[in-house]
Amino acid sequence: MLKELLNSKMFWIIASIVGGYILGGIWKRISKSKQSASALAIPFIAPFITIFILLYVKLNVAYFDIKYTLIGVGIMIIISFVIGYITYAANGKKVPFLNNVSFIYAGIAMVVFYVFYKDELKINTTQCADSQDIYLLLKKEDAGYFEINPDGIGYVGNQLFNDGFRPVFENAGIDFNFYSHVPVAIEIPTKAGTIHALKFESKTGNHNFDMDHLIEKGIVKVEELKVGDIKTK
């Protein structure tokens, strides 16, 4: 239950809003401000959601380097100040500038956070040696098969291929960390045409691969795959 909660993007967003509202209420009592707790909460929501974004990345997005998150936060702050000043001036400077900027930043951060971070996908590697690279081949049908066979082959649908996901590798039900968490989209030339795949390299380093051999043996059924040029986002 707790793990599912911590994996939920919506949980972190709601926690940011609730945390900001609580601090806004506390500040209202301390400062005896005439503004509502909701209005006072806005400047607190912005740092709250920033902290929770960083926590979410640290806890859940193993492949995502924290420095890129910090760069993203910096860009959002700059954009928020620019838009905040424009709206602040347009409204006749009636709303406090910090509230304006914080509200815009919180809105941008929530949208980017919700859209950008991907859902978790479990990949079962029980049958596959940890020295074997993993290939998720692009299927014609928009449905994948994530039980990896002994040759390191699984399948992925078009939507996940384009949209991306957070891979979690399991071996006999135990989280497994022998593979790169950053998939590389590759094109594999074969006698039947170009096969598209997401490749996860083994950290123990077996990178030899012969797709034509697997097709000839019937391990890979090329008629089920998208072969040739594809449209990607």
Same domain? For 127 and 148 the reply is: yes
Neighbour count for residue 92 (Cβ, 10 Å): 7
Do 109 and 144 lie in one domain? The reply is no
The residue from 116, 132, 162 where one domain ends is 116
> Do 145 and 105 fall into the same domain?
no
pTM of full prediction above 0.75: no
pLDDT of amino acid 78: 92
Shared domain for 162 and 86, answered yes or no, is: no
Distance, in Å, from the CA atom of 198 to the CA atom of 191, rounded to the nearest integer, reads 20
Element (H, E) at 135: strand 134-138
| Structural domain range at position 212 | 120-224
Q: Are residues 93 and 134 in the same domain?
A: no
Contacts for 7-14: CB closer than 8 Å, 24+ residues apart: 7/60, 7/120, 9/56, 9/113, 9/114, 9/117, 10/114, 12/49, 12/52, 12/53, 12/55, 12/56, 12/113, 13/49, 13/52, 13/110, 13/113, 13/114
* Of 183, 189, 193, 181, residue with least CA distance to 140: 193
Q: Compute the residue count for the chain.
A: 233
Asked whether residue 127 is domain-assigned, the answer is yes
Shared domain check, 124 and 96: no
* Residues 6 and 110 occupy one common structural domain: yes
The answer to the question of residue 233 being in a domain is no
- How far apart, in whole angstroms, are the C-alpha atoms of residue 118 and residue 62? 12
Domain count within the chain: 2
- Residues 128, 193, single domain; the answer is yes
Same domain, 55 and 156: no
Q: Tell me, yes or no, whether 110 and 130 share the same domain.
A: no
Residues 64 and 81 grouped into a single domain: yes
Task: Provide the pLDDT for residue 43.
Answer: 79
Domain membership flag for residue 232: no
- Alpha carbon distance 203, 226 (integer Å): 28
pLDDT of 233 = 46
Per-residue pLDDT 10s for the chain (233 aa) are: 566 666 677 777 788 788 888 888 888 888 887 777 777 777 788 787 787 777 766 655 544 556 777 787 888 889 989 998 898 888 887 777 887 888 888 888 877 777 766 667 788 888 877 777 888 898 887 766 778 888 888 888 887 887 777 777 877 655 555 566 667 788 888 888 889 888 888 776 656 678 888 888 888 888 888 887 655 44
String of DSSP letters for 188-204: EEETTEEEEEEEE-BTT
140 in a structural domain: yes
Residue 194 maps to a domain: yes
CA separation for the pair 117, 126 (Å, rounded)? 27
pLDDT at residue number 97: 84
Three-state SS at 171: strand
146 and 154 Cβ atoms separated by less than 8 Å: yes
Does some domain include residue 231?
no
Instruction: State which of 116, 132, 155 marks the end of a domain.
Output: 116
H helix intervals, the chain: 2-6, 9-31, 37-60, 66-90, 97-116, 158-163, 211-216
Q: Which residue has the tokens 């929530």?
A: 110
Inside any domain, residue 230: no
Residue 167: count other Cβ atoms within 10 Å of its Cβ. 22
For residue 3, the model assigns a pLDDT of 64
End residue of a domain, out of 91, 116, 141: 116
In this structure, the answer to whether residues 125 and 112 fall within a common structural domain is: no
Residue 60 domain flag: yes
